[in-house]
Structure 1
Amino acid sequence: MRVLIVTHAACFQTDRIVSGNAVRAHYFGKGLVQNGIDVTFAYPKDLASDEERNESGADSSDVRFFGSRSELHELIGEVKPHAILVGYWEFLEHFPDDYEIPLIADVIAPRILEALFQDHQDVNLHASRMLALYRKASRFICGTQRQRQFLIPWLILAGFDCRFGAPIDIIPISTEPLLPRRRLDPTDPWVIVTGGVSWPWRMGQRYTDVIRETLADGKAMKGRLLLLSGGYVHENAPDSESASSANEDRQCDATLQHVGLLPYGDMERLFNEQCNIGLELSDYNIERDFSASFRSIEFLRCGLPVICNHTLELARQVNDYDAGWVIEKPEDLPSLLAAIAGDPLGYDRKSANAIRLIEERYHYLETIVPLVEYLQDPMAPEKTDDWFFRGSETLALDLYHQVSELDHQLRIRDKQITDLRRDGESLKAQLDEVLGSASWRIVQPVRNLARRLVTLKGLLLRAGARVYRQAWKHPGPREEFALGSGRYAPRAAESSRDKWFDRKGRYVAIVSREDVFPTNHGAAVKIERTAWGLSHLVDGVFLITGDWGRYYEFKNGGATEKYFPLPIRLSGVSGMVLRKRLLRTGIPINEAYIYQALFDWGYFVRLMYLALRYRVVLYQAEFPAYAQACVRAKRLLRGKTLLVEHNVECDRIKAQYPEVSAQTYAWLRDQEVGLCNQVDEVIAVSQPDRDLLVGHGVIADKVHVIPHGVDLGAFEKTYAFSLREAYGVSADTRIILYHGIYSYAPNLESIRLLATEILPRLRLRGWKAKVFAIGPEAPLDAIDPDVVFTGSVDQLAPYLTSGDVAVVPLQKGGGTRMKILEYFAASIPVVTTSKGVEGIPAENGSQVLIEDTFDGMANAIIRLFEHPEEGRVMAERAKDIVERSDWKSIADQYLSLIE
């Protein structure tokens, strides 16, 4: 699947001032790519500099430029996309009616309302043209529920049959949190920031005047106001807000500072490092009801709580998440600022909640889901021949009444969602009561579970089916996805003789975190490869993740994606309902997802569905929280339980997040130790991890050391690939390798150390080197000209075998560094720290060079550069360590523990 994104913007680059369209296109692309969809960007030539066109054309095949309609269609002929996402609705004019490729139109802004504020706009002609262009699209995207309700009448006028559903998906402004956030120092003056492009419908002068007066007085709050102002980056926009205050600035230099529009990277650093509060305040107008503010999302992602008007749709989320303050009028500001200044702890809480709001509601991997589901089977909606535009007051009134009625329907749906959450809590309480009762015996569990599932189906279908109908779309019941094939293949219909309780064979059920696919980080590789290895030794392996709808079946090394029935999938709602309870424990937001299973009984329901159909001999949990569902399943059915500890999680989190409280750490430790002692066997990946677990109180006889495995077959193949040739690296430049996922802090810290400590030392000694950082989720800001982030790669082995040396300057982390075992398998010499090689039976100077100082590491690297033969011999010895660590052998060791 390939998608072409055509938008009215210049390329997203952190060192340039970028428009909201550019940011939106960037995260559309990022989300689609991480869902396995190829993306090509097409930008207008007139908005790009010669430097941008030359750079993109030379280095990146996924960015193209066009100067005319004919050039755009030549580009489409080359790319051959399966769908085209038009990032600005006016670009639909480049396409004919009934175009053979599905067109998805992004209408993030209520353009017709904005036109009312611009004197040069003829609203009647604008509306007529808008309807004609809308008719060309197959699907629409908007940013909020209110925008969706506003768009429906216009689609009806454009000829779309919306009687049974509108072809609209809600994809909010998408981003990702910027971490870490600097904590507030109560002694520093407060810095409040507002502004952005100065559009005429943003009328915030009265609010900024009150804030300036309050800060100048200094009694309620001491600080200053930063005003980012300027015209639209691709067009001259009226700068009304900054112009109206220009005469007053001379008297208020101490409290007001005009910053102007900044390059994106400079802006996020300003927000994250210097600012405390973001403002989204304006006098009321109709555009405010339907706005989706890019600048507010930027404030929140940088950890800035937001002060906003109660009329904004964002206000509800700010209230729900306690991520800021909602006010009605400018007169409320002085008392509010005094309250904020007097409660620094409350401010820190709201700052953390701002980032949590972004993580849960605006993260691009979550928001992109409706678009990904549509792209699985893009259908053209029904259209009628009866479409028109009547430029009259009657039509405007009709539209207003339709919007009001639709808003009423939205409130009804909000109530349905609330009822659904309440029913989920009730079912959870009932299930906990049943599981803890003394009457829960061999026959009773099956009867009770069947009754619960019927109750669950009835309640959730009545309360939530209409609300969530679109969310449960999936390939038909006779289809399944063959992993790696890129296509859906027919699935044989189940025989009517297949009974739920015809449980034969010998199966393993693995319960794990949600981010296993794609396998672009160490934990995902270990989980997927373990399932692969076990599938050669038993009749089948089921991999259950945080995905409500699907699971994966491994047989004889082949993996197939399958789907749960609708009632089972609906059990996942409990995770949404109970997430807040998890966050109240104090777990860092970035770690919460691997503990959600403690509060989400949907894992147990999905596991029991498979365990009742197949004879599961081993319930295997990857990470502690997932052992809870396994332990409960074993109480009801026969089998063994096994917990695989990738790290000692409580200690890893404590080391990685120093701000975690002693109370939270104790809770994490008690949960981990308790679950380890409830399962039959525990696997640690290194002796130091085993010693830690036993020291914390895990029964020693339960804990066994089985290291990570390696896919040896992948490294024994011959690949027609060379990093040096692919990236044009000169012969006199050495290649240093590192791979991992860079949202994981220790990995990103290692790359920064390579850039700031190792490379400068090599340059001083006269050596040229480039660091290739292989893996996903690279940072947005450039680290060093000689650090190249490759992004995710389909096959890791050819990249690793192309390097001169692998360097792992890890300072933190737990478990075993799987990356070092893969370097050993690739026969590449390794330089690392004592922490990096911890748990691996390698000797310094024999299989690896171990140095804990940066000077020592630089010396070791140069030693390998100068004596490549020594490095080859060392790599050969290192490969002997992993020769017995193929995944089938690891799987066999797992099974030997339960047999």
Structure 2
Amino acid sequence: MNILAIPTTVGLSKPQSGGQNRFCNLVKCQAANNRIVVLEPDHLHDESDDDVARVYIYHDIEALQKRLSIFRDINPDFIRKAARIIRDEEIDLIQITHPSGAMAARMLGLLTRRRIKIVYDAHNVESEFIQQTFANHDHYSPMERKLIPAYTNLLERISCRYLFDHITAVSDNDADTFRRKYHLKDGMISVIPSGCNIRSRISDEAKNKIREGMGLCPADIAVFFHGLYTHPPNREGFDLIQTDIAPRFADTNPNVSFIVGGTRVPKFEEANIRSLGFIADIQNISGADIAIVPLRSGGGTRLKIFDYMSAGLPIVTTKKGIEGIDAENYEHAIIVDDIDEDFIAGIRYLIEHKDERKRIGENARALAEAKYDWRIIGGKLEDVYRTLVPESSIHYNNSA
């Protein structure tokens, strides 16, 4: 099968966000049995992308020194490049991560008389996600905060109702939201959760070196959180650690340090909090003892949860933080309603019970291995695609 994969605000390789991680790994999975072509914005292209798939690039529309990524349906360069790919690569299916571009893709399919299936690989419910992220973001003007969510909502509604052949959601909750908002017909949507690459266990010596790099002593207990700093739900989590969570342990547990980091996270050290800034090697999370996910909002599935599960870390999280993952409370994680006294009590429980840290962490890793390995997720997506594009209609392009 010849598949055209189109990301929006992420590139193909060197993932720096959950959405990019999902896109990159799904492309790698599908490349095992299909021919994959990727069309991505030029400013997100990296030389290593070409090692993963055949890559074409296009220029985003720009105005007032801003990239207008979501206006791909009227972007001449995007339309020209997509038309070339559909024609030359004999595309059978288009996998797109955002409603923008779906209208152009559908029109190109009709003009070329190709029965191309368009699948919306939804990392979240975009109309709700954009409302949350734009609502209180000072980077955008008041007009942008009104216009962009309204346009995205309209675009998603039209695309889901009339343009997409199928939608893949990352959780049952997102799937239910799509069905409710857009009155989707039966069989229109499938749940394809996100996943992780199961990391090899590291030796005690390697773990101790990581901890030394974090400035930790052998007796210290490290509580870890990471994420994209500019993403509002993550930013709220970072702020809550600084202002509410970490201070609760400063006097009662002097051997507990809160370690944070991630993309665009500033480096700093204060009281019992240490920020590592950008974390080049996510394997460094293996130096922690406990992971926390203090999130109250956001859509989709938090891929940081999978990082922690794969590393065998016990997790304290809100229900929102672990949404879309089949984890049981006190078996695979400690799961609470909100960032409140129960959240603090969950952290204290793991601090005080080393055996429970090990048990819950091992259970989490076992769950990731059994249900959320990217190879398993990729197989589920492959099954969906094979249903949409029967063998008799598949084109076989053997060009290099």
- Give the alignment's TM-score, normalised by structure 1: 0.39
| Selected match of 1:683 from 161, 168, 183 | 168
What amino acid does structure 2 have at the position aligned with 1:642?
V
Aligned to 1:728: 215
SS of structure 2 residue aligned to 1:624: coil
For residues 214-267 of structure 1, the C-alpha deviation after alignment (integer angstroms, 9 at most, x for no partner) is xxxxxxxxxxxxxxxxxxxxxxxxxxxxxxxxxxxxxxxxxxxxxxxxxxxxxx
**8 A contact 2:39–2:55 mirrored in 1:** no
Q: Which structure's CA Rg is the greater one?
A: 1
1:750 aligns with 2:237: yes
Residues 22-57 of structure 1, C-alpha deviations (whole Å, 9 max, x = no match): xxxxxxxxxxxxxxxxxxxxxxxxxxxxxxxxxxxx
Question: Is 1:814 matched with 2:299?
Answer: yes
Contact 1:805 1:828 survives alignment (8 Å): yes
Whether the aligned pair in 2 keeps the contact of 1:724 and 1:730 (CA below 8 Å) is yes
2:15 corresponding residue in structure 1: 519
Question: Structure 1, residues 684-712: CA drift from partner, whole Å, max 9, x if none?
Answer: 10111111111111514311111001112
Q: 1:867 to 1:527 in 2, by over 3 A?
A: same
Q: Does 1:623 align with 2:82?
A: no
2:38 match: 543
Q: What is the rounded CA distance, in whole Å, between the counterparts of 1:738 and 1:615 in structure 2?
A: 44
Deviation at 1:839, TM superposition (A): 1.8
Contact 1:740-1:747 within 8 A present in 2 as well: yes
Matching of residues 14-163 of structure 1 within 5 Å: none
Give the C-alpha shift of residue 638 in structure 1.
3.4
Residue in 2 that maps onto 1:292: none
Which region of structure 1 is more displaced relative to structure 2, 619-628 or 753-762? Answer: 619-628
TM-aligned CA distance change 1:812 to 1:765, over 3 Å? same
Residues 861-883 of structure 1 show CA distances to partners (whole Å, capped at 9, x for unaligned) of: 11111111112211222223322
Q: Find the aligned partners of 1:664 and 1:550 in 2 and give their Cα distance.
A: 25
What's 2:272 paired with?
786
Whether the 8 Å contact between 2:286 and 2:311 is mirrored in structure 1 is yes
1:251-270 matches, cutoff 5 A: none
For 1:875 and 1:748, locate their aligned partners in 2 and report how far apart those are by CA, in whole Å.
Answer: 26
Aligned to 2:390: none
- Corresponding position: 1:871 with 2:357: yes
C-alpha contact 2:269 2:275 (8 A) present in aligned 1: no
Q: 2:301·2:322 contact (CA, 8 Å) conserved in 1?
A: yes
Q: Distance in 2 between matches of 1:800 and 1:614?
A: 41
**CA 1:807–1:605 in structure 2 vs 1: closer, same or farther (change >3 Å)?**
same
Identity of aligned residues (%): 23
**What is the match of residue 120 of structure 1?**
none
Q: 1:201: which partner in 2?
A: none
Task: Compute the displacement of 1:769 (Å).
Answer: 2.2
Seen in structure 2, the aligned counterparts of structure 1 residues 854 and 672 have a Cα distance that, compared at 3 Å, is: same
Determine helix, strand or coil for the equivalent of 1:791: coil
Alpha-carbon distance in structure 2 between the residues aligned to 1:779 and 1:650? 29
SS state at 1:647 partner:
coil
Three-state SS of the structure 1 residue aligned to 2:36 is: strand
- Paired residues of 2:225 and 2:292 also in contact (CA < 8 A): yes
Aligned to 1:706: 192
- Cα separation, partners in 2 of 1:817 and 1:609, compared to 1, 3 Å: same
CA distance in 2, matches of 1:634, 1:548: 26
Work out the CA distance in 1 between the residues paired with 2:290 and 2:325. Answer: 18
Q: Residue 889 and residue 760 in structure 1: after superposition, are their counterparts in 2 closer, same or farther (change >3 A)?
A: same
Summarize the Cα distance change of 1:878–1:562 in structure 2 as closer, same or farther, 3 Å threshold. closer
Residues 10 and 44, structure 2, Cα contact 8 Å, conserved in 1: no
From 150, 153, 160, give the equivalent of 1:669. 153
d(CA) in 2 for partners of 1:794, 1:549: 18
Distance 2:365 2:55 in 1: 37
Match of 2:320 among 828, 835, 841: 835
**Structure 2 residue identity aligned to 1:803:** A
Question: Could you tell me how far 1:739 is from its partner in structure 2?
Answer: 1.7
Distance across 2 between alignment mates of 1:869 and 1:794 = 30
CA distance in structure 2 between the aligned counterparts of 1:535 and 1:664, rounded to whole angstroms = 34
For the residues of structure 2 that align with 1:723 and 1:512, how far apart are their CA atoms? 34
Q: Distance in 1 between matches of 2:373 and 2:10?
A: 23
Structure 1 residues 665 and 727: CA distance shift in structure 2, 3 A = closer
Aligned to 1:693: 178
Q: Deviations over 1:593-642 (max 9, x none)?
A: 55232432422222222222223222100122243343233323333211
Q: Deviations over 1:829-865 (max 9, x none)?
A: 0001121122221122221112324322222111111
Structure 1 match to 2:72: 597
Query: Alpha carbons of 1:894 and 1:768: their partners in 2 closer, same or farther (altered >3 Å)?
Result: same
Q: Quick check: 1:594–1:623 contact (8 Å CA) kept in 2?
A: no
Hey, what's the Cα distance between the residues in 1 that align with 2:221 and 2:324? 29
How far has the Cα of 1:548 moved from its partner?
Answer: 7.1
Q: Is the 8 A contact 1:535 1:554 kept in 2?
A: no
In structure 2, distance between residues paired with 1:743 and 1:773: 14
Q: What amino acid is the match of 1:819? A: K
1:893 paired residue among 373, 380, 387: 380
SS at match of 1:841: coil
Distance 2:85 2:55 in 1: 12
SS in structure 2 at match of 1:801: helix
Aligned CA distance change for structure 1 residues 810 and 869 (closer, same or farther; 3 Å): same
Structure 1, unpaired ranges of 5+: 1-505, 584-588
Q: For the Cα contact (< 8 Å) 1:634–1:641, is it kept in 2?
A: no
> Which residue in 2 is equivalent to 1:846?
331
Amino acid corresponding to residue 655 of structure 1 in structure 2: Q
In structure 1, distance between residues paired with 2:349 and 2:68 = 43
Note if contact 1:620-1:630 (Cα within 8 Å) is conserved in structure 2: no
Q: Which residue of 2 aligns with 1:508?
A: 3
Q: What letter is aligned with 1:512?
A: P
Change (3 A) 1:823 1:693: same
Q: In the alignment, what sits opposite 1:775?
A: 262
**What SS is found at the alignment partner of 1:850?**
strand
Does structure 2 conserve the Cα–Cα contact (< 8 Å) formed by 1:543 and 1:552?
no
Q: Deviations over 1:736-765 (max 9, x none)?
A: 111211121221221111111111111232
Q: Residue 347 of structure 2 corresponds to which residue in structure 1?
A: 861
- Report the aligned-residue RMSD: 2.9
Structure 2 counterpart of 1:803: 288
Q: Against the structure 1 CA distance between its residues 828 and 529, is the aligned structure 2 distance closer, same or farther, given a 3 Å change threshold?
A: same
Aligned counterparts of 2:55 and 2:100: Cα–Cα separation in 1? 24
Q: Distance in 1 between matches of 2:133 and 2:103?
A: 25
Q: Identify if the C-alpha distance between structure 1 residues 599 and 549 changes in structure 2 by more than 3 Å, giving closer, same or farther.
A: same
CA distance in 2, matches of 1:881, 1:759: 29
Q: Is the 8 A contact 1:519 1:528 kept in 2?
A: yes
Secondary structure of the equivalent of 1:625? coil
2:2–2:89 Cα contact (<8 Å) kept? yes
Whether contact under 8 Å (2:293, 2:321) holds in the other structure is: yes
TM-score, length-scaled by structure 2: 0.83
For residues 344 and 55 of structure 2, the distance between their equivalents in structure 1, rounded to whole angstroms, comes to: 50
Deviations 1:715-740 (A, max 9, x none): 45669354311133123321111121
SS of 1:764's partner is: coil
The structure-2 alpha-carbon separation of the partners of 1:663 and 1:622, relative to structure 1 and needing over 3 Å to count, comes to: closer
Change (3 A) 1:664 1:520: closer
- Contact residue 56 and residue 81 of structure 2 kept, 8 A: no
User: What is the distance in 1 between the residues matched to 2:212 and 2:135?
Assistant: 43
Q: Distance in 2 between matches of 1:897 and 1:845?
A: 33
Structure-2 change in CA distance of 1:598 and 1:772 (3 Å) = farther
- Which amino acid counterpart does residue 877 of structure 1 have in structure 2? N
2:43 and 2:317 map into 1 onto residues whose CA distance is 40
Q: Secondary structure at the match of 2:135?
A: coil
Secondary structure of the structure 2 residue equivalent to 1:545: strand
SS of 1:772's partner is: strand
